Structure 1
Amino acid sequence: MKTFTPKPADLTHDWYIVDASDMVLGRLAAQVANLLRGKNKPTFAPHADSGNHVIVINASKVALTGNKDGKVLYTHSGRPGGLRRDSYGELMQNNPERIISTAVKGMLPKNKLSRAQMSRLHVYAGEDHKHEAQKPVEYTITQVSQQAK
């Protein structure tokens, strides 16, 4: 069987909007990662850039299950002494966009293609976003954990 390679004319980057309020972080990140890769399209090929633009709104209302408020998220600036650690509880108040983008980044493959797909992720803490001109389509995630309610 030969590998399907979509033509450049087949590669379209659609716009989707996802509401993150009362969604479990991992389930939300898995669905957003699939949209970013373009796995919802019949022309999906893992080596081709057929991903979509995804707008995530209400990032400050995402649900964290278990004891994740005390969990620490590390990042390093690359400079000496540049290790930074923030707990999820602090990030939910100060920078909830970073929680979702880090979770989605962890669910994408580690290569150049995923870095290009991460540039199509737009996360906002509130309802407002600046992409109304692109006419994003609402994407609803149906599978919701019972722990989030």
Structure 2
Amino acid sequence: MRQTTIVKHLEVEKKWYVIDAENQVLGRLATLAATYLRGKNKPSFTPNVDMGDNIIIINAEKVLLTANKEENKIYYSHSGYPGGLKSINAKNLREKKPTAIVEKAIRGMLPHTKLGNRQRVNLFVYAGPEHKHNAQKPEKLEVK
């Protein structure tokens, strides 16, 4: 009988990947990034351990939104006070904070737990083509 291997957090080997978001559809990009952040691409995936890799996303301001989502998609936030609901559409959010659209899409695909918070730290999103992680020698990852 085979035993299921349980990986400890000290045994995990993390890699660095860079994804170019220019002319990529937001949903496909976010799905790929969330899969690698969770570590579900590895054969030894353990759901209660942060096995994910580090993901760098460049050119986040040039990500594509299909259909009419640029004007129709609305992002909500709440201050916690009565009447504190704020809303902003994707076009205005992109102008105000270009990386927020990609960050919010990926955040929604990660677990909303302490483990998800630890995995979210491994995501680095940059609006332009430059990033400061060249010392880690990241591998290029293609969105299909």
TM-score by length of 1: 0.87
Deviations for 1:39-79, whole angstroms, at most 9, x for unmatched residues? Answer: 12222111111111100000011000011112110122435
Distance 2:100 2:118 in 1: 18
Partner of 2:87: helix, strand, or coil? strand
Relative to structure 1, the CA distance from residue 92 to residue 135 in structure 2 (aligned partners, 3 Å threshold; closer, same or farther) is same
2:97 is the counterpart of 1:102: no
Identity %: 46
Q: Give matches, 1:94-133, under 5 Å.
A: 94-133=96-135
Letter in 1 for 2:12: L
Letter in 2 for 1:95: K
Shift of 1:10: 2.6
Q: Structure 2 regions of 5+ residues with no counterpart?
A: none
Letter in 1 for 2:87: R
Q: Which residue of 2 aligns with 1:24?
A: 25
Aligned-residue Cα RMSD (Å) equals 1.7
Q: How many residues are aligned here?
A: 142
Shift of 1:85: 1.6
TM-score by length of 2: 0.89
Distance 2:110 2:100 in 1: 16
Judge conservation of contact 2:9–2:51 (CA < 8 Å) in 1: no
Q: Which residue of 1 aligns with 2:65?
A: 64
Q: Structure 1 regions of 5+ residues with no counterpart?
A: 144-149
